[in-house]
């Protein structure tokens, strides 16, 4: 399991600077298959069918609730696009990378 996936998100109410482009790129090196797109952390997860897609989405909803950090999701029949950004700071934070690692761990189950 990725070391990031073992971490817990910290509450973010703003007042801290988002990661710079170089910091985000460095953190991206800890993840597989994720990209930076318009200031967001993004990955497309493929599935065999709608049922598997929705099972992933529901499990991810639980993880998001537990971490109190929520992605934007675009759900299709056999795929789910996950997008993270920390809205309170208008950019990326460690929380986004922690949750991305947790998504990957979920997908590997």
Q: How many CB atoms lie within 10 A of CB 9?
A: 18
- pLDDT greater than 80 at residue 13: no
CA atoms of 9 and 18, how far apart (whole Å): 15
Region 7-31: mean pLDDT is: 91
* % of the chain at pLDDT higher than 70: 99
Using one digit for the tens of pLDDT, what is the confidence trace for 42-82? 999 999 999 999 999 999 999 999 999 999 999 999 999 99
* Count of all residues that appear for the chain in the document: 109
All structural domains of the chain, each given as residue ranges with its CATH number in brackets, are 27-107 (3.30.1360.20)
Residue 80's pLDDT is 98
Q: How many CB atoms lie within 10 A of CB 54?
A: 14
11's tokens: 């509450």
| Helix (H) / strand (E) containing 41 | strand 40-46
Please tell me the pTM assigned to this model: 0.93
């Amino acid at each position: 399991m990725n070391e990031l996936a073992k971490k817990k998100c910290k509450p973010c109410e703003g007042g801290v600077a988002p990661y710079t482009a170089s910091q985000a790129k460095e953190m991206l090196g800890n993840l597989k298959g994720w990209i930076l797109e318009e200031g967001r952390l993004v990955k497309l997860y493929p599935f065999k069918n709608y049922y598997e897609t929705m099972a992933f989405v529901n499990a991810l909803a639980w993880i998001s609730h537990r971490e109190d950090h929520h992605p934007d999701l675009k759900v299709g029949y056999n795929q789910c696009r996950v997008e993270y950004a920390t809205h309170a700071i208008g950019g990326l934070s460690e929380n986004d990378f922690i949750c991305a690692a947790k998504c990957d761990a979920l997908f590997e189950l």
